[in-house]
Amino acid sequence: MRYQNGWKRILDGTLMKKDQTISAFTAKAINMLVKQGLHFS
């Protein structure tokens, strides 16, 4: 049981880090799209 809890914590930590990276990437992509949209309009 202790090992399972440890693994779950590690997995949760990695997932959270991945989510942060993905959201940061998404934010950058949205910013670029907005800037391009401003140039086009």
Report CA torsion sign: 24, 26, 30, 36: positive
DSSP-H helix ranges across 1-41? 2-40
Cα gap 10→34, rounded to integer Å: 36
pLDDT tens-digit readout, 1-41: 566 788 888 888 888 899 899 999 999 999 999 888 876 65
Question: In this predicted structure, what is the pLDDT of residue 39?
Answer: 67
Question: In this predicted structure, what is the pLDDT of residue 31?
Answer: 92
**pTM for this one?**
0.55
For the chain, the domains span: 1-41
Cα gap 20→13, rounded to integer Å: 11
> What is the phi/psi pair of residue 37, to 5°?
-60, -40
